[in-house]
C-alpha cells in the first residue's frame, strides 16, 4: 500500500492526524528560569503551528532538578499548568495537535541550572563530556518516585489540554541511561541484564498509560522516543534497542519516534555496516512492533526526501530544523 504524505492517519488511541507530517521537538531555551512558559515560547510555536498534523513541544522536565539546559520548560508543579494550557491552546488554534515531550535529564542535568543539585542516574557513572559531574546512584525509593513524577506530569499535561505526551527515552537522558549498559551498572532489579535494564522505561510507559486511563481521556496520544545506538564503550547497540522496542510494543503505545540526524542513517557503532537502520528495524521487528507507527526524522528538507522516507519504511515524519526557518 502506498503512503501519501498528506493522507490522514489514525493512531491506536483514536486520534486522527490530518497528514503524516509532525514538527519535531527542538529546544529553544526560551522559558523562565523556573520552567514557566514565556511569550517568546508562545510566539515560536504559534508561528510554526498549522501545517503539521501535530507539534511535539520540546523536552519538558518532570522534576525540579531534571533540567538538561537553561530555559527549559517545566511541568513539575501544578503552577505550570496555566502556562502550558496557554501553549496547547495556541498550537491547537492553528489546527495542529499539541503533544508534550516529557523527560528528566538524569546525569545530563548540570548543577548550574538545577540549584546546585548533584545529578542523579541509574549508576554513579559520569557522562563522557568535559567537566561532567558524576551523578548519585538513584535509590529504589527515588526510582519509584521518578515513575510517579512522570505520572503526575502526564496528569498536568492532560489538565493543560494537550492532545498527548511523548516519553523522551532518547538523547542520553534518564530513560536511556537506565537502558544503557554503559550508564547502568546496577545489580538489583533495575539493572544488570538487558531484561532488567528495560524495567524503568517499561514502568514509565505503564504509569503514563494508567494515568490517562484513570482520567478517562479519549484519543490521548502516547508516544516514545528512542536513540538507536550509543558510541560509548559498553553502550547500546541496535540489537539492544530492538529488544527494548519489541518489549515496549507489548504495551501498545501510539507511536515510536527515532532520534537520528538522517532518516537514512547507518550504524555509528560499526562503520563498515552500510545498511540503513530503518531496514534493520523492519527486518527485526516483532509482529506487535510492526503494528505501531514509526516516526522518521533527520535531513528531510524537500518533498522528495519526505516521499523517500515513507517509501523506505517510515509511517510518519517529524521535521526539525527546516521547520524553524
Tell me which of 44, 45, 103, 173 is the catalytic residue: 173
Told to judge if 173 belongs to the known catalytic residues of this protein, a careful annotator would answer yes
Chain centre distance of CA 302? 24
Residues 6 or more apart in contact with residue 116 via CB below 8 angstroms: none
Q: Quick one: angle between helices 81-93 and 140-159, nearest 10?
A: 50
Cell numbers given for 290: 510492526
* Cα–Cα distance measured from residue 317 to residue 295, given in angstroms and rounded to the nearest whole number: 5
b/e code 247-265 from CB counts within 10 Å (16+ = b): bbbeeebbbbbbbbeebbb
In terms of DSSP bridges, do strands 16-17 and 9-10 run parallel, antiparallel, or are they unpaired?
antiparallel
User: Which residues form the catalytic set?
Assistant: 173
Amino acid at each position: 500500500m502506498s503512503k501519501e504524505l498528506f493522507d490522514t492517519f489514525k493512531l491506536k488511541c483514536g486520534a486522527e492526524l490530518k497528514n503524516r507530517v509532525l514538527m519535531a521537538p527542538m529546544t529553544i531555551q526560551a522559558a523562565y528560569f523556573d520552567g514557566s512558559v514565556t511569550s517568546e515560547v508562545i510566539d515560536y510555536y504559534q508561528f510554526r503551528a498549522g501545517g503539521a498534523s501535530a507539534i511535539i513541544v520540546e523536552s519538558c522536565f518532570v522534576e525540579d532538578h531534571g533540567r538538561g539546559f537553561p530555559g527549559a520548560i517545566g511541568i513539575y508543579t501544578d503552577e505550570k499548568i496555566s502556562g502550558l494550557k496557554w501553549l496547547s491552546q495556541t498550537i491547537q488554534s492553528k489546527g495542529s495537535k499539541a503533544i508534550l515531550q516529557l523527560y528528566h535529564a538524569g546525569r545530563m542535568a548540570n548543577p548550574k541550572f538545577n540549584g546546585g543539585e548533584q545529578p542523579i542516574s541509574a549508576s554513579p557513572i559520569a557522562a563522557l563530556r568535559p567537566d561532567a559531574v558524576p551523578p548519585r546512584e538513584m535509590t529504589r525509593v527515588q526510582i519509584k518516585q521518578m515513575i510517579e513524577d512522570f505520572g503526575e506530569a502526564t496528569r498536568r499535561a492532560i489538565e493543560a489540554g494537550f492532545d498527548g505526551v511523548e516519553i523522551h527515552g532518547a538523547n542520553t537522558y534518564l530513560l536511556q541511561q537506565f537502558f544503557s549498559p554503559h550508564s547502568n551498572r546496577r545489580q538489583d532489579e533495575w539493572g544488570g541484564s538487558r531484561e532488567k535494564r528495560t524495567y524503568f522505561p517499561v514502568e514509565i510507559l505503564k504509569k503514563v498509560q494508567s494515568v490517562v486511563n484513570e482520567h478517562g481521556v479519549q484519543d490521548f496520544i502516547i508516544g516514545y522516543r528512542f536513540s538507536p545506538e550509543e558510541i560509548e564503550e559498553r553502550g547500546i547497540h541496535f540489537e539492544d534497542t530492538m529488544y527494548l522496542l519489541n518489549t515496549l510494543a507489548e504495551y501498545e503505545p501510539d507511536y515510536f519516534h527515532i532520534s537520528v540526524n538522517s532518516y537514512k542513517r547507518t550504524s555509528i557503532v560499526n562503520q563498515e555496516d552500510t545498511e540503513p537502520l530503518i531496514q534493520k528495524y523492519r527486518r527485526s521487528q516483532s509482529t506487535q512492533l510492526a503494528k505501531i507507527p514509526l516516526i522518521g526524522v533527520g535531513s528531510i528538507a524537500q518533498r522528495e526526501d519526505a516521499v523517500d522516507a515513507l517509501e523506505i519504511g517510515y509511517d510518519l515524519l517529524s521535521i526539525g530544523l527546516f521547520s524553524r526557518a
